[in-house]
């Protein structure tokens, strides 16, 4: 991209687009929820920058229909702006997940996406997805 040469900046977008820029790890506390009862769990998401560049980062979490980010169960998607991550830096984000009264027994898949941005949060360089499960007993 020649436009970056005009402003004197290096073009690192090809390196970031080729390789996975993040490592995502998750933890649920407690690790299960109970069906036919209202309850909640804390989802801890750790994101580590695996590149040699500073990355503007956000995390998008998506839940199935039986779960929600609020006690009513209306909000099923949440985006958290983490900010800039230095090379090999790790940040942790906490999100509360609630089950509704119509959550049946089973495993529910939560989808997490860590997104590398440039300039602002509207421009995307690369994204890494991770799926994790939440047990309802």
pLDDT for 102-125, tens place per residue?
Answer: 788 999 999 999 999 988 999 999
* pLDDT for 87 beyond 90: yes
Domain count, the chain: 1
State pTM to two decimals. 0.82
Q: Counting every residue, how long is the chain? A: 137
**Mean pLDDT score, 20-38:** 89
Percent of the chain past pLDDT 70, that is, above it, reads 87
- Please state, in angstroms and rounded to a whole number, the distance separating the CA atoms of residues 103 and 37: 8
The residue ranking higher by pLDDT, 72 or 50, is 50
Band of pLDDT at residue 14, cut at 50, 70 and 90: low
Q: Is 125 left (phi over 0), alpha (psi -120 to 50) or beta?
A: alpha
Question: Taking 70 as the threshold, does the pLDDT of residue 127 lie above it?
Answer: yes
As to burial, measured by CB atoms within 10 angstroms (0-12 exposed, 13-18 middle, 19+ buried), residue 80 is middle
**Is the pLDDT at 25 greater than 80, yes or no?**
yes
Q: What pLDDT score was predicted for residue 72?
A: 83
- 3-class DSSP assignment, residue 111: strand
pLDDT confidence bin for 19, thresholds 50/70/90: confident
Residue 39: what pLDDT?
83
CATH of the domain at 72: 2.60.40.3880
The helix or strand, by DSSP H or E, that contains position 15, with its residue range, turns out to be helix 13-18
Pairing assessment for the beta strands 120-136 and 32-33 based on DSSP bridges: parallel
What string of DSSP letters covers 24-82?
A: EEEEEESSEE-TTS-EEEEEEEEEEE-SSS-EEEEEEEE--TTEESSSSS---EEEEEE
Domain coverage including residue 52: 3-136
Higher pLDDT, 36 or 50: 50
């Amino acid at each position: 991209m020649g436009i970056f040469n005009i402003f004197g900046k290096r073009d690192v977008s090809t390196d970031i687009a080729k390789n996975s820029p993040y490592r995502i790890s998750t933890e649920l506390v407690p690790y299960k929820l109970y069906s036919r009862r209202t309850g909640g769990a804390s989802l801890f998401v750790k994101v580590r920058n695996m590149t040699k560049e500073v990355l503007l980062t956000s995390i998008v979490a998506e839940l199935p229909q039986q779960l929600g980010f609020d006690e009513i169960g209306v909000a099923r998607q949440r985006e958290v702006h983490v900010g800039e991550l230095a090379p090999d830096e790790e940040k942790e984000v906490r999100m509360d997940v609630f089950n509704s009264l119509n959550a049946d027994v089973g495993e529910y898949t939560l989808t997490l996406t860590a997104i590398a941005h440039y300039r602002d949060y509207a421009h995307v360089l690369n994204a890494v997805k991770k799926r994790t499960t939440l047990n309802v007993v």
